[in-house]
Amino acid sequence: MAEPTPQQTKVCPTCGTRLAENANRCLVCGTELTASAEIKKPASVQASRMPEITLSLPLALGLLALFLIVGAALVFIVLRVTGANLAAAGNGATATVTVTPTLTATPTEFFTATPAPTATTQPPQEYTVASGDNCLSIAVAFGVSAQSIIVLNNLPVACNTLDIGQKLKVPYPTPTPLPQATNTLEPAAATLQACDKVYYTVQANDTLSSIASNYAVPMDAIKAYNGLPTDQVYLDMKIIIPLCERAATPGPSPTPTIPPPYPAANLLLPPDGASFTLANDSITLQWASIGTLRDHEAYQVTVEDVTDGQGRRKVEYVTDTKFIVPGSFRPTDSLPHVFRWWVTTVRQNGSDDQGQPIWVTAGAQSAQRVFSWQGIAPAGTPQP
């Protein structure tokens, strides 16, 4: 059986009624259907569509992570390049961040000047006189002058009234600040430096008047130069004779005294404060040469036992720059003794009645050094 052919129809353009293909008028609205009235239905044009992409969820998450990683890398590279440029620009000028401070009431600080520290005078220390002590040995032990001990304790100038067990006041050494060096001396200092001086050690039976008479220098000048409160001098006292204070005398000019042509010798060995024991049978003293000695010139080496307190000393004359203290000068007791020694350049000025040379000072006295020497060990008592 044949299938029926589908009948062609058309639609009324006014009311939309479906009519037969050959109908000339709409049965519903009466609109005439002519060929010119027919409105051809435009061919539908399908618009272009975006391609659809379908992704699974894991793949979408992976792409998102990749996008974030790439973005972070780009940001890092940009910051890296920008930071390098800023660092290069910062070498020429340092950027300063200015923070606007908040105005607050600040109390005014007043600074008080701190006064300079002043030296505090310490009271004198007390010392008990022991056997063999004298003012000189006590002064050496405490590093002060014997004159300061004599004045502080109202002792006689000779300091020969000390008793064992006597209490003495000993001052502390006074620190003296060194003056600042200047190129030009003050007038008083220039006068003192230009004055010819002789360093003299008081001998037995010497008086200040006899010393002043021998050097033709007024007693008052010697006292003023040495700061002596009285006319008294004692044995082994060191004084300075200012030759520039000589008074002019009429008549024949006195024989000029040769000024010290040599400087003070520089002591070398032993070092100051060295200690020697029973193993040392002798001690060698050495000093630096002050130059070539002329005929009838020598070094006067003086060694004195300070601890003994009886003026025990040895004076020798040598032309070499060393002197050996013999073992015979060792202390005779078992205690260590303090010895002081110094060197002076001397020149022979004739001879005495016994033919011994008379030595006079020909140079400045060296600095003094001390050393200790253990006395001879006491002999043991034989056992019965």
Give the pLDDT score at 380. Answer: 52
125-170 and 258-377 have identical folds: no
Of 340, 349, 325, nearest to 238 (Cα)?
340
CA 127-133-135 angle, 5° bins: 75
Tell me the per-residue pLDDT of 133-157, one tens digit each, with 9 for 90 and over. 888 888 888 888 888 888 888 888 7
284-304: average pLDDT: 90
Q: What is the average per-residue pLDDT within 334-344?
A: 90
Cβ atoms of 323 and 316 closer than 8 Å? yes
pLDDT in tens, 82-100: 776 655 555 554 545 555 5
Question: pLDDT at position 100, please?
Answer: 56
How confident is the model over 16-38, as a mean pLDDT? 74
- State how far the Cα of 239 lies from the Cα of 202, in Å rounded to an integer: 8
Q: Is the pLDDT of residue 187 over 80?
A: no
Q: In terms of residues, how long is the chain?
A: 384
pLDDT in tens, 351-370: 888 888 888 888 888 989 99
Residue 190, pLDDT score: 60
At the second CATH level, the architecture of 194-247 is Roll (3.10)
Which pLDDT band, with edges at 50, 70 and 90, does 38 fall under?
A: very low
Query: pTM of the full predicted structure?
Result: 0.34
Is the per-residue pLDDT at 70 higher than 90? yes
- Rounded-to-integer distance, Cα 244 and Cα 246, Å: 6
Amino acid making up residue 164: I
CB 368 within 8 A of CB 341: yes
Task: Taking each helix axis as running N to C, give the angle between helix 219-226 and helix 208-215, from 0 to 180 degrees, rounded to the nearest 10.
Answer: 110
* Predicted local distance difference test score (pLDDT) of residue 324: 92
Question: Does 48 score more than 70 pLDDT?
Answer: no
Alpha-carbon distance 99 to 63, whole Å? Answer: 46
Residue 341: per-residue pLDDT: 93
Query: What are the residues whose beta carbons fall under 8 Å from the beta carbon of 105, sequence distance 6 or more?
Result: none
| Amino acid 116: pLDDT | 59
**Confidence (pLDDT) at 376:** 74
Residue, of 291 and 41, whose pLDDT is higher: 291
Higher pLDDT, residue 7 or 240:
240
Residue 187 · residue 177 · CB < 8 Å: no
**pLDDT over 80 at 329, yes or no:** yes
C-alpha to C-alpha distance for 61 and 78, rounded to whole angstroms: 26
* Domains of the chain by residue range: 125-170, 194-247, 258-377
9 closest CA partner among 31, 42, 30, 33: 33
pLDDT tens-digit readout, 218-234: 988 888 888 888 888 88
Give helix then strand counts, H and E, for the chain: 6, 15
Note the CATH number of domain 258-377: 2.60.40.10
DSSP E strands in the chain: the ranges are 9-11, 18-20, 125-128, 167-170, 197-201, 238-242, 267-269, 274-276, 283-287, 297-305, 313-318, 322-325, 337-351, 357-361, 369-373
**Nearest Cα to 368, choosing from 95, 91, 145, 56?**
145
The mean per-residue pLDDT over the stretch 256-260 comes to 52
- Shortest CA distance to 231 belongs to which of 254, 213, 257? 213
> pLDDT band at residue 47, thresholds of 50, 70 and 90?
low
Task: Answer with the residue of higher pLDDT: 41 or 106.
Answer: 106
Q: Give, in degrees to the nearest 5, the angle at Cα 302 between 298 and 308.
A: 165
Mean pLDDT, all residues of the chain:
78
CATH 3.10.350.10 fits 125-170, yes or no: yes
- Residue 371: what pLDDT? 92
Q: Is the pLDDT of residue 286 over 90?
A: yes
